[in-house]
Structure 1
Amino acid sequence: MKRSLVSLTLISTFIASFPLIALATPSRTVDQTVECELLVAGGGLAGVATAYEALLAGRTVCLTEITDWVGGQISAQGTSALDERATQRQQLFYSRGYLELRRRIERKYGELDPGDCWVSDSCFLPRDGHVILSEMLRDAARRGRGQFKWFPTTVIKDLQIAQTGGERRIQSAIAIQHQPANGAPPLNTYPLSQTITDAYSYQNSRLFTKNIVRFVPAAKAGNAPNWYVIDATETGELIALADVPYRLGIDPRSYLEPSSSSATNDPYCTQGFTYTFAMEATEQPQRHAEPPFYQQYASYYSYELPRLASFPLVFTYRRIWSPRQGEDMRFGGISFTAPTPGDISMQNWTWGNDYRPGTAADNLVYTRNQLQSTGQLQPGGWLGGLRVETLRKGEEHAKGFFHWLVAGTTDSQLGPGVKEPHPNNRYLAGLDSPMGTAHGLSKYPYMREGRRILGRPTLAYPQGFAISEIDISRRDYSDSYYRLVLSPQSYRSLKAALAGLEAASVIAGTIPPRDVMRRTRSTIYPDAVGIGHYAIDFHPCMLQSPAELPGNIERPGERLGAGQAYPFQIPLRAMIPQQIDNLLVSGKSIAVSHIAAAAYRVHSFEWSAGAAAGTTAAFALERAIAPYQLIARIPFPEPQLEALQRRLAQNGNPTAFPDTSIFNEAWEDWQ
């Protein structure tokens, strides 16, 4: 179906602002040159899954990661509680690597949920997430006879891009690997805000000795593509460095994104980020000195809702270790077991350690204009693309939340008389702590949203492909709100897009929009290479700056799009950026809208997207075909694309949910 001319004009104008980039030259002599068939930037779940599948296919994989742990969400970011939907979990309908991860967690502990948490069927220690995934990668290399080259504490600094044989390709990438300098404290002594600028700088420092690495493709005869670069970073670093078209923040309201909180694009409002931490229940009360910055953030913290206003409930929400079972409890309709001394909880709470900036003065992920103004798009100028001051405040905010949990007596949302102190808990810090850091915070913040590519133009998406709100939401949009905020033409387009086989009649006017029954499924993509299922779950930005401002509120309307989603697919078009022909995107930076991104971000989705990227890259190398060529003729059949989809399915990486075809409209059973 054709997309709105208004929205396409806006997107077209946005694309036109992206010039081709110049080549970069390292400002220091390269210490090491490394050949790869796949260079995977980002060692989170998407990056690990990419490497896992490529290694099983016998490929040489270089994997870089800013921290010293693989696993992202379940390790370095501390959110080691698997977010899963009930039906998918009951059927165990996941990618083979994700199933193996679950099996190894259970084998490690003798059970899948050693934390006895109530938010998930599996809560465990972040350090063990890293250990398990490291073992899986080594085993995949051995089984597939691939070669695994692991580069921890390594960031991509520069890309060399050139026109070759009618294609624009990344020819090489310059990276910086840092290790402690002589006499310096060990890694993970300081939080990210104090080390990130140093980590992206070429020169040695008092903290770090740098190893400059040039990644290049493995030698190969002819002009066939000889390597692929995969951006699996948490914020879309390579797509910013390569300067390909991308979106950031809120999309303009349209029939594709009818629940958007803004009539225009707002690149500064992304979902909140979280520094997680671990705390342990103790027999005796602990002394808790108030942090010097606590009062700056104290007016923000809250249990959020009356049904959640229970310390034992919050503690056990993401409890990651429980050596002995406590007594049964129930609060707010939720059943759980009481905390007992020795229990360890990981905290990730919206009105707690979520930090939610949303203005041009404090946004975390820099826009393209901000990158230009700070010199980060100049050769050698890249410093990670994040606002360091906001990272620092997020760190303070998280530590302040611990103090609120154990000593606070106020609640910003529920008023007086709700919050009581709970001193029988201690903050876990140290290199041997669950987070593996001397400061006790996660090594990297849990990122829910970053830059999101705009895919290549295709027949139905002439200005660039993207997955939108209406492609996955269960909402029927019959509420009068949508008739009021959308123009009559946009409202008719919305209803036509939801009408399925009756779309032509709606467009022709023979069926009034009010009579349209919403199709009971998500959009089905002919180029599907993976799957996911999760609710559209928002952690909205705050309206004013700073985020912790007393009396501050969430951005109005941001939660309007929240709600249940149908099981959805990951189309290959969402992983192929414009302008660069050997770059694939995996994880949170695929081509999704701001609202759709709130569902396309959890553990099993990231793994499925990574499995698709690794399989696609290996397939493209084997067949000497570029991924963009697989989608060039959509919606017409493409034998090579069908062969890729068969390989994914044969390898145990599903591209569609059971019984969810266009002929079966009964998707309501998927919860």
Structure 2
Amino acid sequence: MELTTDVLVVGGGLGGVAAALAAVRLGQRVVLTESTDWLGGQLTSQLVPPDEHPWIEEYAAPGYSELRRRIRDYYRRNYPLRPEVAADPLLDPGRGVVSRFCHEPRVAAAVLEEMLAPWRASGHLTVHLEHEPIAAHTGGDEIDAVTLRDLRSGNELTVSAAYVVDATELGDLVELAGVEHVVGAESRATTGELHAPEVADPLDQQAFSSCFALEHRPGEDHTIDRPAGYAHWHDHIAPFWPGPQLSWEDVVPVTLERREWRLFEANPDRLAPFSLWRYRRILASSNFLDGAIPDVTVVNWPQLDYWEQPLVGAADPAAALAASRDLSLSFLYWMQTEGGYPGLRLRPDVTGTADGLAKAPYIRESRRIQAEFTVLEQHVGVEARPDGSGSEVFADSVGLGRYRIDLHPSTAGRSYVDIEAYPFQIPLGALIPVRVDNLLPANKNIGTTHITNGCYRLHPVEWSIGEAVGALVSFCLTNGLSPRKVRNDPNHLADYQRLLTNELGVRLAWPDEIRTHRD
């Protein structure tokens, strides 16, 4: 089967959906593909509630704000909320700690489908779920078409497009199309970054995690079968970790001090000030009339971080994924047995899977394009900008973001790298490959380093990247320009930025009092 379209977006995570929505709203025809059966990526199929900054209610990208508003309205329409909860404009279904807005993944998936529905009905947008890319067909410095395999039937679909957006979780098209890219950690000599390792290492990638959802039924026994690799995870100790991962212990990411958590209450020790249960709770029973709905929490804790081998560049990525899933089930089994909580019960209905684990692993790091401009720690890191002037101001800004530089333990045996970063801008130069003309990244595959990926990888930033990319390809198609020409011609750049601000409502700069803000 063959299709031709204006824009092909491969990968239906937040960046891919945002790119598709921006492009169709600006008049383009779009084909959007996704390897799972849910759109939303880290928000849905990976089971990760949104990680957001303190100014998200006012400074989120317009489409991301719409997504959050629609999710809240979904709960108001369909759930037995207590009246004061339903009336709260900042309704938070889970009352978790990681975010002011924790909710179920399937609700987000339903809302994303709702946002796309009119464009699908009009024929401007075609969506192919459960399709993975298997080949990119190139000619010179352009991608002519991408072939995808239907994971249900095995049939192949080839899509030709004027522009191709790689919104996959691991930068799959970057690899398939031979786009110049970086994997793992750059050396300090290459980037000049304070926290870069001395030696470059492509296998130095952040751990990934296979998350799951739980409820607790005291007095019942829901203990799962003992996983095959339980003995390994029970006894093995990584050199940089305080003990086996199957425990309540981890380390403080900033100081690397050992700390001990409790499942249902805070540890009086200042290092674990809240319960693990509350950390990523997505349903809080106290929100609902008569306790009609139980507490449900997402387990995405350091105990699940799989760091023995990466997914990119590993000898056997399938084996790495299987080992990650085995680690996650082993930790659940440990909590139910030695941990003393047999009433912990998997919620496969929440994850949309048979085994109760997320549809896809939570990916923190991807292949990254070699871009016209690379964001360095020196542009956003507080320690790397000791004059207190805030983050670098980029003339080619296409959006905003804010998060700490948060690197989880890596597959090269490094522990956390968790350092303060200023609120930052997304520069257009980081979205443009050094050579290829019609492929653009819209996930964690932009022109960052191993270090700065740690603050550009979260939910609202990914959406903003996708929204900027969708608008850019539309602007280029309408005006007969290339992305490179847009960035490097001041007049074209100004026109494109006006499109972002006037047509889509995107903010391009932080107020100085926020740009210079420190934790």
Do the two structures share a fold, i.e. TM-score over 0.5?
yes
Q: Does structure 1 residue 605 correspond to structure 2 residue 461? A: yes
The answer to whether structure 1 residue 344 and structure 2 residue 285 are counterparts is no
Give the residue type in structure 2 aligned to 1:614.
G
For 1:427, give the aligned amino acid: L
Q: Which residue identity is paired with 2:336?
A: V
Is residue 314 from structure 1 mapped to residue 310 from structure 2 by the alignment? no
Correspondence for 1:475:
383
Report the CA distance between 1:310 and its aligned residue.
1.0
SS in 2 for 1:77: coil
User: Aligned pair count?
Assistant: 477
Q: Distance in 1 between matches of 2:515 and 2:222?
A: 53
On the 8 A contact 1:160/1:173 being kept in 2, the answer is yes
Work out the CA distance in 2 between the residues paired with 1:563 and 1:668.
Answer: 15
Matched residue, 2:46: 77
How far is the alpha carbon of 1:618 from its aligned partner? 0.6
Give me the whole-angstrom Cα distance separating, in 2, the residues matched to 1:453 and 1:519: 30
2:149 and 2:174 map into 1 onto residues whose CA distance is 18
| 2-structure distance, mates of 1:308, 1:114 | 27
Tell me which moved more, 638-647 or 255-264.
255-264
CA distance in 1, matches of 2:92, 2:502: 30
Q: Tell me what 2:98 maps to.
A: 119
Quote the Cα distance in structure 2 between the aligned partners of 1:667 and 1:364: 35
Contact 1:45 1:71 in 2 (8 A): yes
Tell me, in whole angstroms, the C-alpha distance in 1 between the residues paired with 2:211 and 2:292: 21
2:373 is the alignment partner of 1:442: no
**2:358 is the counterpart of 1:428:** no
Q: Is the 8 A contact 1:175 1:213 kept in 2?
A: yes
Tell me whether 1:153 sits opposite 2:153 in the alignment.
Answer: no
Q: What is the 5 A alignment of 1:149-228?
A: 149-163=126-140, 168-179=141-152, 209-217=153-161, 227-228=162-163
Deviations 1:170-218 (Å, cap 9, x if unpaired)?
Answer: 1111111122xxxxxxxxxxxxxxxxxxxxxxxxxxxxx222111023x
Q: Is the 8 A contact 1:256 1:470 kept in 2?
A: no
1:455 match: 371
Question: How many Å apart are 1:308 and its aligned residue?
Answer: 5.2
Equivalent of 1:59, from 28, 48, 51? 28
Aligned match for 1:103, one of 44, 64, 69? 69
Match of 1:302 in 2: 247
| CA deviation after TM superposition for structure 1 residue 255, in Å | 8.1
Cα distance, 1:320–1:523 mapped onto 2, change above 3 Å: same
1:72 & 1:651 partners in 2: Cα distance?
26
Q: Which amino acid aligns with 2:364?
A: R
Report if the CA contact (8 A) 1:48-1:70 is conserved. Answer: yes
- CA–CA distance in structure 2, aligned partners of residues 340 and 668 of structure 1: 45
Q: Which amino acid aligns with 1:74?
A: L
1:292 to 211, 224, 228: 228
What's the CA shift string for 1:512-531, capped at 9, x where partnerless?
xxxxx524211111111121
Query: How many Å apart are 1:603 and its aligned residue?
Result: 0.5
**What is the distance in 2 between the residues matched to 1:102 and 1:670?**
26
Report the TM-score when normalising by structure 2. 0.87
Q: What amino acid maps onto 1:120 in structure 2?
A: S
Correspondence for 2:397? 528
User: Matches of residues 575-654 of structure 1 in structure 2 within 5 Å?
Assistant: 575-632=431-488, 638-654=490-506
Query: CA offset at residue 342 of structure 1?
Result: 2.3
Output the CA distance in 2 between the equivalents of 1:574 and 1:653: 21
1:597 deviates by 0.2
Structure 1 residue 131 and structure 2 residue 110: aligned? Answer: yes
Partner of 1:242: 177
Amino acid at match of 1:38: V
Q: CA deviation at 1:243?
A: 1.2
Alignment partners' CA distance in 1, 2:166 and 2:276: 35
1:233 match: 168
Residue 37 of structure 1 corresponds to 6
Q: Sort the Cα spacing of 1:287 and 1:176 in 2 relative to 1 into closer, same or farther, 3 A.
A: closer
Given the two structures, how large is their TM-score scaled by the length of structure 1? 0.68
Contact 2:423 2:510 in 1 (8 A): no
Counterpart position of 2:268: none
Cα shift at 1:256: 4.1
Asked if the contact 2:396–2:487 (Cα under 8 Å) also holds between the matched residues in 1, the reply is yes
State the shift of 1:302 in Å: 3.4
Pick closer, same or farther for the CA change 1:652–1:57 going to 2, 3 Å: closer
- Residue 273 of structure 1: SS of its match in structure 2? coil
Contact conserved, 1:283 with 1:341, CA < 8 A, in 2? no
Match of 2:304?
353
The answer to whether structure 1 residue 564 and structure 2 residue 420 are counterparts is yes
Which amino acid counterpart does residue 480 of structure 2 have in structure 1? A
CA distance in 2, matches of 1:655, 1:232: 22
Distance 1:473 1:140, change over 3 A: farther
